Amino acid sequence: MKIVCSKSDLLKSVNIVMKAVPSKTTMPILECILIDASANEIKLTSNDMELGIETKVTGDILEKGIIALDAKIFSEIIRKLPENDIVIETDAKLQATITCEKAKFNISGKSGEDFSYLPYVEKNDSIALSQFTLKEVIRQTIFSIAANENNKMMTGELFEINENELKVVSLDGHRISIRKIELKDTYGHKKVVVPGKTLTEVSKILSGEVEDEVRLFFTNNHIVFEFDQTTVVSRLIEGEYFRIEQMLSSDYETKVEINKKELLDCIDRATLLVKESDKKPIIIQISDDAMELKINSQIGSMDEEIDITKEGKDILIGFNPRFLIDSLRVIDDENVTLYLVNPKAPCFIKDEKETYIYLILPVNFTV
- Interface contacts to a copy of itself, rule CB under 8 A: 70, 73, 76-77, 80-82, 102-108, 265-266, 268-269, 272-273, 299-306
Q: In the complex, what is the shortest distance from the CB of residue 154 to a copy of itself, in angstroms, rounded to a whole number?
A: 31
Q: In the complex, what is the shortest distance from the CB of residue 81 to a copy of itself, in angstroms, rounded to a whole number?
A: 7
Query: How many other C-beta atoms lie within 10 A of the C-beta of residue 132?
Result: 17
Residue pair 131/164 in contact (Cβ under 8 Å)? The answer is no
Q: Select 9 or 265, whichever has its Cβ closest to a copy of itself.
A: 265
Report the distance separating Cα 74 and Cα 71, nearest Å.
5
Q: In the complex, what is the shortest distance from the CB of residue 234 to a copy of itself, in angstroms, rounded to a whole number?
A: 31
Q: Select 49 or 299, whichever has its Cβ closest to a copy of itself.
A: 299
Q: In the complex, what is the shortest distance from the CB of residue 142 to a copy of itself, in angstroms, rounded to a whole number?
A: 25
> 259's torsion region: left (phi>0), alpha (psi -120 to 50) or beta?
beta
Q: Select 1 or 193, whichever has its Cβ closest to a copy of itself.
A: 1
Q: Select 80 or 279, whichever has its Cβ closest to a copy of itself.
A: 80
Bridge partners, 51 (sequence order): 234
Burial of 26 (0-12, 13-18, 19+ CB in 10 A): exposed
Q: In the complex, what is the shortest distance from the CB of residue 300 to a copy of itself, in angstroms, rounded to a whole number?
A: 4
Q: In the complex, what is the shortest distance from the CB of residue 85 to a copy of itself, in angstroms, rounded to a whole number?
A: 16
DSSP string, 313-326: --EEEEE-HHHHHH
Q: Select 273 or 345, whichever has its Cβ closest to a copy of itself.
A: 273
* CA dihedral (32, 37, 42, 45) positive or negative: negative
Q: Select 106 or 250, whichever has its Cβ closest to a copy of itself.
A: 106
Report the distance separating Cα 118 and Cα 120, nearest Å.
6
Q: Considering just the CA atoms, what is the radius of gyration of the chain in Å?
A: 25
Report the distance separating Cα 1 and Cα 90, nearest Å.
5
